[in-house]
Amino acid sequence: MSETDEELLRRVMDATASLWNELTYERRQQLFDGETVWETEDYRKRYIGVLGSASAQQAIRKNDQAWKGFFDSDEPDKGLPGYWGNEDEGRELRWYGRNDQYTIQWGDRSRLEIPVGKDLKDEYGLSGRLRLEVRGEPRWDGKQCQLEIQYDEQRGQFRAYQPVEVADLHPRLGTPVADESAALDIGANNLVACTTTTGEQYLYAARDQFERFRSTTQEIARLQSKLRDGRYTSKRIRRLYRQRTMRRDHMQDALARDLMQRLHEQGVSTVYVGALTDILETHWSVESNAKTHNFWAFGAFIDRLETTAEEFGIGVVERSEAWTSQECPQCGATERTTRHRDTLTCECGFEGHADLVASKTFLQRQTTVARPMARPVRYEWNDHEWSGMSHPHESSKVARTNPQVAPVGEGANARRDPTGGIPRL
């Protein structure tokens, strides 16, 4: 986009952040004073000249939703709506557009048009809407919903997120060709261990990513300890938070799509996942609790799996998986087994990968597994895609030629952008 268009867009997004901060401040003060947070000044009128009436109202609605979520939360002390930074340290730049506020046209010169307030139009000599060039291609066609634009400070890019309403099943996927099942063990050390009734086993390992996540967390804590009294954050701290979250979300989005496409190709129609309470009861420790709640973000990850599975016509069912990681598949004992890191051993002589054993045992509790198991495939994340090798004994040369480990996707685009091709401005 041109320098003028970028400057104008920044002005619009900065005004949105300013509106959010002022409204949030007033509501926080009202809450602390024991007053209702719903009776506030008319911020729509205050920002109509920059944002336009509809955009200002949409930002207010998003703030309303944040406060409603706060009051509906079981832990409201942890969910108090916060600010989007300040002018001195930098703001989080966002803009929200109702589905009838913006237009998007896809083609050789894809473009997005958003409304701008009259004062900005006069200042910049703009006769209509702000027109922005868009890069990328939509994954789905359907009725457009609310648009969100964010500025990615780390990459220096504006990103547009456009959900759309589609039919129950997208026609390019079709229904699964069979009625197979799969079970997922979401563990404290590996993100997903999967076993299918077709005899396949997949392991998505992410210990290195957790160590990276924890290292960033420690750096955030170090920087926070050096802040002067009265300050709780800085531009660098917020950048690290965003970087940490984006890395995790990108990895998990790519995993959900990679896994569900593999399962769809095998005819899997139902995927069983363990309930969060089972994970906490079975694996609880300070480290695993941090992984479950912060790094794994279990609830959000399950939502990703369910949303992606729906695209492929696969149902996701939560069931209890209690003690599956302690049960010996050879003799059925739970008290005589020992787990050390990724290995499960039993006094009867059994030894195997604990998470893969757990996923197979979990699957056997839900359905019949009649086929013999193929050699498991281990997938590692390289910051762009999940690549696999047979686990644990095949050489890397054999693994590269094994058809089981070929990248999944629709050509180069899928490998380049496994998260789904979010358009970038």
Cα–Cα nearest to 392, from 263, 206, 203: 203
The domain locations on the chain are: 3-165, 180-415
Q: pLDDT-based confidence at 401, cuts 50/70/90?
A: very low
Whether the Cβ atoms of residue 273 and residue 184 lie closer than 8 Å to each other: yes
CATH class (in words) of the domain with range 180-415: alpha beta
- Highest-scoring range by mean pLDDT, 122-126, 250-254, 317-321, 401-405: 122-126
pLDDT tens digits, residue range 333-345? 888 888 888 888 9
* Residue 369 CB coordination number (10 Å): 18
| pLDDT reported for residue 9 | 94
| pLDDT reported for residue 384 | 81
> Contacts by 26-31 with C-beta closer than 8 Å and gap 24+?
27/63, 27/67, 27/81, 28/80, 28/81
- φ, ψ (nearest 5 deg) of residue 274: -80, 150
Cα–Cα dist 348/401, whole Å: 36
How many Å separate Cα 330 from the centre of its chain?
A: 37
Which pTM value belongs to this model? 0.59
- φ, ψ (nearest 5 deg) of residue 26: -60, -40
Q: Write the single-letter amino acid at 399.
A: A
pLDDT tens digits, residue range 344-355? 899 999 999 988
